[in-house]
Structure 1
């Protein structure tokens, strides 16, 4: 539990787990809106009765408790935070309906098209399978490179962190760890200049500086994950 607490009718509580990029995404969104909250660290091997009560469907983190009512799933929570505190901080979703729809489209792109080949590349043994995953990841990263390069935007949302940036945020610190563990570069300044610059800007942005990813704690965790997948092969 940390010092982010808000008393009164809008008391907010976040159930999370330190290693979860989905929890971190919600913490970044709350930071953008300047929302104070109570943070509860969960042991996912021994889930609390509160977590199971508030998220009986998925039984996982993150879960946001607002005025005693739970909101689950990170993407749903981020949009809820933006709407519930629309009068505070910066906007996470665009005001324009078309731009808002496009932001949601690119969030789905991250989930459906980008994340799977990057994960497969990381967990595959050296060989044709890993090379194929690398090629697929590069192809999807190029789509994002082209999107970001249009107009020379600082972030996918424009001049500040928005919905797409938050959904891609884990990539900014996870991909460098994957690269270090495997010994192969995926995102380089030569190959993806706009995306590479975005990763640096995102990690240096106010919400991320408020809650930086625990990279040194995560590295052995990811090394163990890769070893487990390789041993299964």
Structure 2
């Protein structure tokens, strides 16, 4: 179900009640770790740069959000489909082919894919994706390999756990994999510092990835409409990118 399909229902509901988060109830937001955008573990609510920004720019404008603990990506999608969460905070993949899931029509961050390799790795730069053939590369389990990489015979090492990024960086440090694939440069820089891994970042010759959010078709239509309006404005003109760049300098 698309947002356009929900819009008439949302408009009717919004006309019958005040535009307050209390009227519609708090939206349950969740997902998996993409540091430092989204941080967390299975035992505590999500935090990180995106939460801080949403609290400042969206919650402060009357949209109530309930923060759930981190999960694996496959579990996050199942939670979205079942309605256990209303909004998936981070995705570059579209899920609107699923009848239980819809996508917002804005993105909040454009990123460039990178490989994180140990500083002593022989690979110095990636001019062609075919250079990655045969490499053991870590990434998140439960996702679709980006189209440009699907024809490259990479030995993918997938992890379907909430802390997949930190675990992959530890495996890289121990020499158990040759590189870690990231859709952005923020995560490897963050974990290189926190996990004390001496890395080099290799920019990949791929198109930018667009980070957006997905929502459950079972979510309250009026609350989703309110969130869409406020968040869409808050994320316009790369405002979150500027915030994230400053966040990384802390």
1 or 2, which has the higher helix percentage? 1
1 or 2, which has the higher strand percentage? 2
Higher relative CO (Cα under 8 Å, sequence separation at least 6) belongs to 2
